[in-house]
A and B are shown apart, each in its own frame.
Chain A
Amino acid sequence: MEKENKNLDINSFEGRWALALKAMNGPLPEMGVTKRKAVWKKNKAVLWYYPPAEKKYRVPVFIIYSLINKPIILDLSPENSMIGSFVNEGFEVYLLDFGEPGYEDGGISISDYVSDYIQKGVRKALRHSSAKEITLYGTCLGGTLAAMYAAIAKEPVKNLILSTTPIDFSDPPGFDQWTEAIREGEVDVDEWLDAMQIVPGFLVNKGLDFVTFPIHFSHYLTLLSRVEDPNYVDKWRRIDHWTKDHIPLTGASIKQMTNDFVKKNKLVKGSIKIKNKKASLKNIKANLLVIAAENDSLVPEKMVKPIMELVSSRDKTYRLLAGGHTSFSPGTFPPFLAEWLPERSDPRK
């Protein structure tokens, strides 16, 4: 590719345009490169195990990713892999990939994901690693699931890390009239969800665009301005593919998000139930690290921070970092984790 690029005049608009087109339409590079093996499967979900070359900590990390995107963003390439950075630091990593739900999974609610997938996955991980305790790392909606699980966990959760995690739905960003209409019952999509069972990936994509950026083209201009940098182009292609590659959402999950989170804000009120068990955030006693992003238009700080006052954890840290919603999937072990996690992960001497 680099050889071909030499024939193009990078300073001309045509030259840049040709390179940008190549980047947009060329075959995708390989993603998900860190060595792993499946240790448990259920329905479409897979629990992946990423072994470190040298295990330096006794407490493994269990990653719960969002339900609406593929977790491949955590392992884009050898240079841009959050999972790789954990493994290189000597942590055992488990990733619960929920997979792509189909029509038959339409009845799986958020609570079902917590009790039937996360809780069981954590048990498997603890047994597989022979660890006595575990660290939960939840990003975006995966963080909400992680917090809900931590509130009912019988398993020994030592640390809970929540990155850009929505907890307080009292004032979601933008579209205040829509939120009000949902709360007043003027908009009710339950019947539609019952008929369809799942919302296909492309509709999830459009829905998120609708809430955040109804039209977006600036990333193409950024590609044009930096098209001569092969490292940037490589990363751009991977992230561009990931942002468009949403997975279907089950009808029951959307119903629970709308009714329990948006309408009644049950997480904050402590009235959410998982298999008839109250999942009050007060039950959380694990060491807590909460991360929010300054320029996050999807999950702003006001949706993230309230958890700090809702848990019973004595050891709790809140960090507001520069960046947007997906800024925290770096290739190197980020300083906010390097300062916090190792000393709480029972290092092996």
Chain B
Amino acid sequence: MENKTNSDNYFEELRRLGIEREKELNTIIREALNNDGWIKEASLQSNTTAKMAKQLQEAMEALSALGNFPTKRDVANIAKMQVQLEEKIDHLEEKLVKIYKKCKEAKRKESKHKKEKKKEYSKKGSKKSESIDYLVNSLIEGMSSIHGKRK
């Protein structure tokens, strides 16, 4: 048990020291890199590398025309066309969704309109039945009064 604790302490201390040293080293490195000389060198190197890369790429393009083989640019162009295609499909999908929503809205409005018309018809119908009832009632009343006089 004691042996384990000693070992744990040892590695814990090692870790603590490691973190301290790491911090110190990184500060030294950062300070060393943060100077004008490195900046100028990096800028120069990036420009030189860029020119070399471009020349090499152009040479490969020229070679590909002669050798009739595709370059990375050709592959990139095909990939870009595929993305364009995906965008067109997305655009169509968006349009379809809009049309679907409009159709749904139109259908909703139509069914609402139908319901309202139905209500109107039923109202008209009830007026007719009221007048029929009225006529029947008055006929019954008239008949009963005639029968009463005869008696």
Which residues of A pack against B, CB within 8 Å? 10-12, 16, 41-43, 102-106, 116, 120, 123, 127, 174-178, 181, 186-189, 191-192, 194-197, 210, 213-218, 221-222, 224-225
Q: How far is the CB of A236 from chain B (nearest CB, A)?
A: 13
**A105 contacts across to B, CB distance below 8 A:** 79
Q: Are B50 and A191 in contact (CB under 8 A)?
A: yes
Taken together as a complex, chains A and B put the C-alpha atoms of A2 and B139 apart, in Å, by: 104
Q: Are B72 and A103 in contact (CB under 8 A)?
A: yes
* 15 further contact pairs, Cβ within 8 A, besides A127-B97, A195-B49: A16-B7, A174-B30, A175-B34, A181-B43, A186-B39, A187-B39, A191-B46, A191-B47, A191-B51, A192-B50, A197-B76, A215-B22, A218-B15, A221-B15, A224-B15
User: CB within 8 A of B42: which of A10, A123, A187?
Assistant: A187
Taken together as a complex, chains A and B put the C-alpha atoms of A129 and B77 apart, in Å, by: 35
Which residues of B pack against A, CB within 8 Å? 3-4, 6-8, 11-12, 14-15, 18-19, 22, 25-26, 29-30, 33-36, 39-40, 42-43, 46-47, 49-51, 53-54, 57, 72, 75-77, 79-80, 82-83, 86-87, 90, 94, 97
Q: Are A222 and B50 in contact (CB under 8 A)?
A: no
Q: Are B86 and A213 in contact (CB under 8 A)?
A: no
User: CB within 8 A of B22: which of A103, A106, A213, A225?
Assistant: A213
Q: Are A178 and B34 in contact (CB under 8 A)?
A: yes
Closest B-chain residue to A213, C-beta based?
B26
* Number of A-B pairs, beta carbon distance below 8 Å: 112
Closest A-chain residue to B53, C-beta based?
A195
**B79 contacts across to A, CB distance below 8 A:** 102, 104-105
Q: Are B75 and A177 in contact (CB under 8 A)?
A: no
Q: Are A214 and B40 in contact (CB under 8 A)?
A: no
Q: How far is the CB of A306 from chain B (nearest CB, A)?
A: 24
Q: How far is the CB of A127 from chain B (nearest CB, A)?
A: 7
Q: How far is the CB of A60 from chain B (nearest CB, A)?
A: 18
Closest B-chain residue to A210, C-beta based?
B33
User: CB within 8 A of A187: which of B43, B53, B57?
Assistant: B43
User: CB within 8 A of A120: which of B29, B72, B90?
Assistant: B90
Residue picked from B29, B36, B46, most chain A C-beta under 10 Å: B46
Q: Are B36 and A42 in contact (CB under 8 A)?
A: no
Taken together as a complex, chains A and B put the C-alpha atoms of A116 and B22 apart, in Å, by: 42
Known: A224-B11, A225-B11. A174 touches B34 (CB 8 A): yes
**B53 contacts across to A, CB distance below 8 A:** 192, 195-196
Q: Are B18 and A177 in contact (CB under 8 A)?
A: no
